[in-house]
Amino acid sequence: MKAIVKLYLNYLELILIGMLVAALAITLVAGLLAGGIALLPALLANTTIIAIGLITLGRRKALGEHPEIKTKPFKEFRLFMLVRKSKIILVAVLVLVTLGTTYSTNRLLMNQAIASSGMGVSATFFNNALIINVLEISPGDKGNPYQVTAVLYSNGYPVANIENQSVGYETTYIGRDRFIVRIVEVTNIYAKFFVERIADGKD
Amino acid sequence: MDEEQPQIGVWVRIKSIGEHTLVLLLILLSIWLVRRALEALFGGNAKLFKAVPIEYITDFADCLALMKYLWALIKEFRR
């Protein structure tokens, strides 16, 4: 039984390190692909990977000085703890800040969407939590060549209207969730809307 | 005496492989629990920053566990 527990801890350590490194690598790649605000967690992930790599370089030396660790569970973590305390705290803080920033940025991006709607073609957001139907696109003034008239609704909730508004117009709609809706582009055939979900409660 | 030695070796080998197999199953179960926790936190089929599926983290962990298991088997048969 003791041997199995020791073997399980051996596997577990590898898996924990692997998942941490995978999470950092995925944050880096996804952040670079997404761009914008996601670049911050990507930069933090990159810094954390480099910091962990630099500390790991001293692993072999530490193992040479403390060969008894080789047979103990959580060998890698024990070797890591032999490094200077200030460095460990730095890496721990970096890991926590990176994971926290990644979570909050991901949550923010998950609640933002852009979609277009034309005559007879609805724009749907967040799995039909909000639907926008463009009713009319009319000529506007000099600065804004087109204006849009549209209806916003969630199934089972009151309808709200956007009447003859152009790029930059912003309104709040409360349906299944609470949404901020902004017009980001209007052409003669479609209008593009940016939607941010403020409260994502279920009905 | 010489004929019995391989028999003992086989049983030791089977015991060791059995331990590794049991631990592999436990680890795969642990990874599955982590996967469910991530799904509860981010939603099913969620993508980090709408770009890379979050489940890749646990996929990578599955690969690592299987690779460690295979490496243990290879070491066992080379012993």
Pairwise CB contact (< 8 Å): A19 & B60: yes
Tell me which residues of chain A have a C-beta less than 8 Å from any C-beta of chain B: 3-4, 7-8, 11-12, 14-15, 18-19, 22-23, 26-27, 29-31, 33-34, 38, 102, 105-106, 109-110
Could you give the ipTM of this predicted complex? 0.82
Residue spans per domain, chain A: 2-110, 113-199
Q: How far is B3 from chain A (nearest CA, A)?
A: 29
On the question of pLDDT at A201 being above 50, the answer is: no
Please report which confidence band the pLDDT of residue B4 belongs to, taking 50, 70 and 90 as the band edges: low
Write out chain B residues lying below 8 Å of A106, CB-based.
42, 48-49
Residue spans per domain, chain B: 30-79
pTM: 0.73
pLDDT at A61: 77
pLDDT at B7: 55
Pairwise CB contact (< 8 Å): A23 & B57: yes
And the tokens for A136? 């009319």
pLDDT at B20: 92
Chain A's closest residue to B25, CA to CA, is: A8
How many H-runs (helices) and E-runs (strands) does chain B carry? 2, 2
DSSP class of residue A72? S
How far is A87 from A97, CA to CA, in rounded Å? 15
Please report which confidence band the pLDDT of residue B57 belongs to, taking 50, 70 and 90 as the band edges: very high
Report the run of H or E that residue A10 belongs to, with start and end: helix A2-34
pLDDT at A203: 41
Minimum-distance CB partner of A26 among B23, B24, B56: B56
Q: How far is B23 from chain A (nearest CA, A)?
A: 5
On the question of pLDDT at A20 being above 50, the answer is: yes
Give tens-digit pLDDT for A148-198: 999 999 988 999 999 989 999 999 999 888 999 999 999 989 999 999 998
Please report which confidence band the pLDDT of residue A143 belongs to, taking 50, 70 and 90 as the band edges: confident
Mapped onto helix, strand or coil, the DSSP state of residue A170 is strand
